[in-house]
Amino acid sequence: MFDEPFRWMEAISTRHSYVQAKLKKGQPVLAVPYQGGALMMGFTAQPGKIFELYDRIALGSLGHPADVERLRMTLLDMAHLEGFNRSEKDVTIARLLQFGIAPAIKQNFEEVMRAPYLVKLLFAEIDFDNQAAFFRLNYDGHSEMFKKGAVISGNDKESEWIQKQIEQTDFASLSLEKALIEACHLWEEGKKQGAPESEDDEDPPVGLAEAFDQWTLEAAVLSTETERKALYRRVTPDEIESLKTAAK
């Protein structure tokens, strides 16, 4: 295979199709700024979608839980090693992606005799000037940076629509409560926009009310309003209960 470029390209195309099919029903994860830092949220059938990666870095994910956990542990080890060998200011998403995880994922994806990672990863970071940045990492190692927020989803149409709306919304001027409500509304509308034109093809998109009933809302913030070294905290159950009423 390796001495025939066409066969290799065909194998890569097949891997793209395979991974995309596996991730197709992955629920969106959104990361946006707000007045007091950065917010990350997403609905999940089981815990394990949003994590703390380092003091000023949060990680969101969709995909196979085993692959997510393997990459999360790799990133944790890299972050702490970087912080120990250099300094905490050297632990940035850009460095972790460029010099660590992205090349490894790309190499894994292009080695067609190995199983590809079934994941998409989303990162939020607050730098030491309290400015938010967002990064998206694809299953093939391709990464992108965003300033106004980002989304990952198993549905490309859904993801493109939500990303466009994020770019057009001034999340940085909103309070945490309002940013949560707006993010939930984008999540709901994105599900509608990503639905197939024929309802016979798939189940109808899940609305916000059904999502709260069926799944768990995972949400966390990187708060610049805290005096703690670690900016990460989970959104509390009380905040989520208030959100259920306000978002309807």
Q: Which two tokens stand for residue 14?
A: 């097949």
- In angstroms, the CA 165 to CA 132 distance is 18
pLDDT digits (tens, 9 = 90+) for 33-72: 999 999 999 999 888 899 999 999 999 999 999 999 999 9
pLDDT digits (tens, 9 = 90+) for 146-157: 999 999 999 999
Architecture in CATH for domain 34-247: 4-Layer Sandwich (3.60)
User: What φ, ψ does residue 31 adopt, rounded to 5°?
Assistant: -130, 125
Run of H or E including 151: strand 150-152
Helices (H), 51-175: 65-85, 93-96, 102-110, 156-168
Contact 147, 160 (CB under 8 A): no
Contact 136, 143 (CB under 8 A): yes
Per-domain residue ranges of the chain: 34-247
User: What φ, ψ does residue 201 adopt, rounded to 5°?
Assistant: -75, -45
pTM (two decimals): 0.92
pLDDT digits (tens, 9 = 90+) for 201-232: 566 677 888 899 899 999 999 999 998 989 99
